[in-house]
Amino acid sequence: MRELIDGIEAGRGGKCWGRFSSEKLRDAIQERADRHNETVRPHKIEVGTQAWLYLERIKEGYARKLAHMWHDPFRVLELVDEHVVRLEIAGTEYRLFPAVHVSKIKPVRQFLDRPKMA
């Protein structure tokens, strides 16, 4: 803050304000990211598991609230990054890029204790 006041007194207020505001913005973004990372839970996706894929696009003429947004269980082929997985898309009717963010998938839940329908 003292640097900002000195800059204003010296007649360089514009440059000082710009640098000061960009530093404050950078600090605020970092603080928000740190706060988010403290509360986020790790995902339970591993290689070989089945996962539902969330697709926001719906066919023309369909009502969004009636459309299925979670599609086919896909098999996870690879963990590309901490937040990106590669899905096995080959052999399905879907034409999309196989690498997706983990926020767009959820694991298929297996209920082994449920009775089977005959």
Delineate the domains of the chain, giving CATH numbers in brackets.
2-39 (no CATH), 50-107 (2.30.30)
- Does the model's pTM come out above 0.85? no
For 85-106, what is each residue's pLDDT tens digit?
A: 999 988 888 888 889 998 899 9
Q: Which residue has the tokens 């290689």?
A: 47
Output the six-digit token pair for 27.
């600090």
Q: Which residue has the tokens 């996962």?
A: 51
Q: Which residue has the tokens 């086919």?
A: 72
Task: Give phi and psi for 105, each to the nearest 5.
Answer: -130, 155
Contact 84, 101 (CB under 8 A): yes
Query: To the nearest whole number, what is the mean pLDDT of the chain?
Result: 82
Task: Give phi and psi for 66, each to the nearest 5.
Answer: -105, -10
